[in-house]
Amino acid sequence: MVLIKSVLNSLPLYYFSLFRAPPCVLKILESVRREFFWGGSESSKIPWVKWDKVVSSYEFGGLNFGLLKSKNLALLGKWWWRFYTETDSLWVTIIRSIYGPRGGLDLESEAIRSLKPSTWKNIILTGTLLEDIGINFKASFATTTSSISTKSFWNSLWIGEQQLKVQFSRLYRLDSDPDARICDRIELKIDGSAALRADWCRSP
């Protein structure tokens, strides 16, 4: 247990922190951990417990090894946090010049798949992969007032767990300007509060 947690789990982390590991690679690495845990590949011993149970957390009766796929996604997801916090960094400026102001992190699944293969595309795809297993990763990032002018009112995921055009589809269809930004719809006050712009409230 100690060797698996301190050595085998740590060896691939350098690559996991930037590159998305192919399923075949993850399968091989998991087999190495599994065989080592059950006594090595030289002797064929019967695994009495499913590997999915072994790698699960203590809370669920496992040994807290963790799946390598989960570690890979977690490390790639950290680049989302760095993109939103290191706003003045050179690498963030480069990413924005290629993928837009949001770095492509707000793209839908179909739009992501249309991008050319790249390391950053795999980082963008992390959000979709986490959503596939029930984790709303995009909703975990709070919207700040400093970025409110660059977000789309209807299309951005900035309030709740769904886009406003999905939550209020009828209003979205009635809007004469569906591409409006948040700042076009909401007026920020000095005290940080917000109010709907009067001109939009009066519109039919």
Q: What is the pLDDT of residues 83-100, one digit of tens each?
A: 988 888 899 999 989 998
C-alpha span between 155 and 136 (Å, rounded): 16
Is the distance from CB of 126 to CB of 80 less than 8 angstroms? yes
pLDDT at residue 198, rounded to an integer: 47
pTM of the predicted model, to two decimals?
0.65
| 131-to-31, 125, 140, 150, 194 alpha-carbon distances in Å | 26, 10, 12, 24, 30
Residue 33 structure tokens? 């951990």
pLDDT tens per residue, range 114-140 = 889 999 999 999 988 888 888 888 777
pLDDT tier at 26, thresholds 50, 70, 90: very high
**Cα 45 versus chain centre, distance:** 39
Place of tokens 């990032």: 141
Range in 48-57, 104-113, 171-180, 193-202 the model is least confident about:
193-202
